[in-house]
Amino acid sequence: MNDEQWMRYAIRLAQRAEQQGEVPVGALIVYHDDCIAEGWNQPIQTNDATAHAEIVALRKAGQRLGNYRLLDCTLYVTLEPCVMCMGAIAHARIKRLVFGAYDPKRGAVCHALQLAEADFLNHRIDWCGGVLETDCAQLLTDFFKARR
């Protein structure tokens, strides 16, 4: 599968979050062309501030591979990761990050912070943003519009 196909999968996971009353963000981790973990935002449901889609997927992938270092893995997520998630992504040694919508206010890949290329991290993450950006952004826009 290619990046757009995997992002469509992440969008379906984001829709699952929305059905549960959570901010619609979905994530999955691919290893050797196989999805090994998936996650969606769950902080409200689990009463856990760290239960972002990326963190949920990272935890599951670590369990699946029996290692917290997720070498040669690609993480797909519908929204540019926040600072917490980028820290976890770097510590997990994710090889490649692909995200949909940019987050100019809180994004920690290339907006509010540029952690993908921070000198103080000992791991560099190859990243690509804007994959199915319009579809990913629309999910969030519609969600927050319905809440107002």
pLDDT band at 82 (very low <50, low <70, confident <90, very high): very high
* Chain-centroid distance, C-alpha 41: 9
CA nearest 103: which of 42, 52, 62?
Answer: 52
Single out the catalytic residue among 38, 54, 80, 117. 54
Residue 89 in this model has a pLDDT that exceeds 90: yes
Give the residues across from 28 on adjacent strands. 38, 76
> What angle is formed at CA 78 by the lines to CA 51 and CA 67, rounded to 5 degrees?
50
Query: Is the pLDDT score of 1 beyond 80?
Result: no
- How far is it, in rounded angstroms, from Cα 74 to Cα 125? 10
The Cα–Cα gap between 23 and 127 comes to: 23
Residue 145's Cβ-count burial label (10 Å; 0-12, 13-18, 19+) is exposed
Q: If you average pLDDT over residues 129-134, what whole number do you get?
A: 98
Tell which residue, 71, 80, 34, 32, has the closest CA to residue 53: 80
What residue type is 141 in one-letter code? T
pLDDT exceeds cutoff 80 at 100 = yes
Are the beta carbons of 64 and 37 closer than 8 angstroms? yes
Kindly tell me if the per-residue pLDDT of 32 is higher than 80: yes
pLDDT of 69 strictly over 90? yes
Residue 54 designated active-site: yes
Distance, C-alpha 81 to centroid of its chain: 6
Partners of 94 in the β-ladder: none
Paired tokens of 60 = 């599951």
Calculate the average pLDDT of the chain: 95
| Cα→Cα distances 124→26, 94, 147, Å | 23, 9, 37
